[in-house]
Amino acid sequence: MIELQQVNKTYSYKKANAVHALVDVSLRINEGELTAIVGKSGSGKSTLLNVLGCMDTFETGTYLFDGKDITHASGKQLATIRNQDIGFVVQDFALIADDTALQNVMLPFYFSRRTSLREAKVQAMHALQQLGMDSMAQKPVNKLSGGQKQRVAIARAIVHQPRLILADEPTGALDSRTAEEIMGVFQELHQNGSTVIIVTHDPGIAQQCSRIIEIQDGKIAGA
């Protein structure tokens, strides 16, 4: 489904304080895989996820998405891919605290004119129901527990039925019991056909994935 070929990413490119975050990274992830990306802090795993999610650019190399070369895609084209094909989940939930769970899940539709407000509400409620959060739809997210907030964040990520779900330390802010529940959600999404990539520092979470990619100093050390 996605493939990187000899990708290099440098922060502060061509400056004295340049940091080579990704070094000749080549990898392929097939559709339907549940993959963990592991590595120490600063190893480049989050940078790799951002490149895969079309959130970050790179200097050299090639990125194939669904067989199409998007290396030189415009910002508008990348935004379309993100909005239509990719769902994001992050450690700190990135929710609008004073808005309800339903309003947060509807957020992706605000960037698309293809869906009416009525249909957006229907799809958002369906996503919340999938995550067992439909009863909390009208509750402000600042009144929810950490696990509930992450379920809302996942509902937002899947509301537009993306083919690829990217999660950056999705259990990092949760207690172990809640983390296991959230990992169960990702496994269920995987079983239903989604391609899921999880960045994690937790070996226990990584071991529950069908594939583990290790990154060290910006290089793929094992896959």
Length of the chain: 223
Domain contains 37: yes
Q: What is the pLDDT of residues 6-45, one digit of tens each?
A: 999 999 888 888 899 999 999 999 999 999 999 998 899 9
Supply the pLDDT for residue 210. 94
Supply the pLDDT for residue 114. 74
Domain contains 122: yes
Considering the entire predicted model, what is its pTM?
A: 0.91
Domain contains 25: no
Q: Hunting for tokens 């290790």 — which residue is that? A: 214
Domain contains 63: no
Q: What is the mean pLDDT of the chain?
A: 93
Q: What is the pLDDT of residues 161-195, one digit of tens each?
A: 899 999 999 998 889 999 999 999 999 999 999 99
Q: What is the pLDDT of residues 85-141, one digit of tens each?
A: 999 998 889 999 999 999 999 998 887 667 788 999 999 999 999 999 999 999 999
Contact criterion met (CB below 8 Å) for 17 and 211: no
Q: Is 154 helix (H, G, I), strand (E, B) or coil?
A: helix
Say whether pLDDT at 223 is over 70.
Answer: no
Say whether pLDDT at 221 is over 80.
Answer: yes
Specify the DSSP class assigned to residue 163: S
**Burial (CB count <10 Å: 0-12, 13-18, 19+), residue 56:** middle
Domain contains 11: no
Q: What is the pLDDT of residues 130-158, one digit of tens each?
A: 999 999 999 999 999 999 999 999 999 99
Q: Which domain holds residue 182?
A: 32-54+83-222
Domain contains 65: no
Question: How many domains does the chain divide into?
Answer: 1
Contact criterion met (CB below 8 Å) for 68 and 97: no
Q: Look up the CATH number of the domain holding residue 88.
A: 3.40.50.300
Domain contains 17: no
Q: Hunting for tokens 């960037």 — which residue is that? A: 111
Domain contains 159: yes
